[in-house]
Amino acid sequence: MMSSLIYRHNRITRLTHWINALALLILIMSGLQIFNAYPHLHWGSKAEPEEAFFSIYAADEDGDIHGYIRFLGWRVDTTGILGVQQTDMGPFPRAFPSWITIPGFFWLAGGRRWHFFFAWLFTLNGILYFLYNLGRGHVRKFLFSPYDAGKILPMILYYLRLRKESPQEGEYTPLQKMAYTGVFFILTPLIVLSGLAMSPQLDVAFNWLPAIFGGRQSARTVHFLLTFLFAFFTFGHIFMVVTTGMINNMRCMVTGWYVEKRLNPEGLKQEQDDFEVKTEDPRNGEK
């Protein structure tokens, strides 16, 4: 085996990555704080709790307060997880627990301010990342193409240890390309537009925004569901970072340098791996 030290991520990519990671975390936590003020989902323009197709709520059952999730008439007891939280003063009705929401225990105004600030930071930072890497030709490296579709199953088999050789070509696997393309070009535009569609001020100037979702409550529902898709993507991303070499991956996103191992082309057996550092620093000319 031989190893090469490769400069994979430039400064702007690393900086925007960590800014987006922080912004996304704050957005999810502050968004759940806002949702707690009205933990019901509707489709259309009207919002009546009894007409919601999804709710997280608390109810008194024989003197005990229980938390529940209700979806299309089906009810599941979620006491201890969702719907009710134990406090120093006893059980308190609360959709999502305080440890996963910010800021404060039940501060709607603060949650909205935090959410709006980090929403703009997330959007502008994402635009900077995309335009910078588009100009450098990096975007095409993680775009999913029809050519990658045929490698999805082999890649899954490789991760399941049912295939010895990885079908990966280049910096990103077919699954990574599919995930990144979906996040950048589908999830991100939808979550931004659905967020804007919930703003009464913007609705006055852009009344087509809520209309494209079928109403303001529909936009809220889409926004809520997309939040969990982003969370799912984030957990998957972290899982891949940990399982494919956490130290190497973290060093790469902090310093830019990545250690890539490959087979010795001469097939020579070595007691110790060679360590080859590229003499040409790709950072030359980087801004």
Render pLDDT for 118-168 as a digit per residue (tens, 0 to 9): 999 999 999 999 999 888 888 888 899 888 888 899 888 888 888 888 888
- Read off the tokens for 141: 């490296």
Residue 206 and residue 167 share a domain: yes
Contacts of 252 (CB under 8 A, 6+ apart): 8, 9, 258
pLDDT the model gives residue 283: 58
Residue 152 and residue 52 share a domain: no
Residue 136 and residue 200 share a domain: yes
Residue 225 and residue 187 share a domain: yes
On the question of pLDDT at 270 being above 60, the answer is: no
- Any idea which residue has 């529940």 for tokens? 68
- Any idea which residue has 């852009």 for tokens? 206
C-alpha 77/C-alpha 244 separation (Å) is 37
Residue 91 near residue 65 (C-beta atoms within 8 A): yes
pLDDT tens-digit readout, 219-252: 999 999 999 999 999 999 999 889 888 999 999 9
**Domain count of the chain?**
2
Residue 235 and residue 138 share a domain: yes
- Read off the tokens for 241: 């970072």
Residue 143 and residue 190 share a domain: yes
Question: Does residue 286 fall inside a structural domain?
Answer: no
- Read off the tokens for 120: 């703009």
pLDDT the model gives residue 282: 56
Question: Does residue 172 fall inside a structural domain?
Answer: yes
The C-alpha R_g of the chain, in whole angstroms, comes to 23
Phi, psi of 261 (to 5 degrees): -100, 140
Residue 226 and residue 154 share a domain: yes
Residue 33 near residue 107 (C-beta atoms within 8 A): yes
C-alpha 226/C-alpha 233 separation (Å) is 10
Q: What range defines the domain where residue 89 resides?
A: 40-95
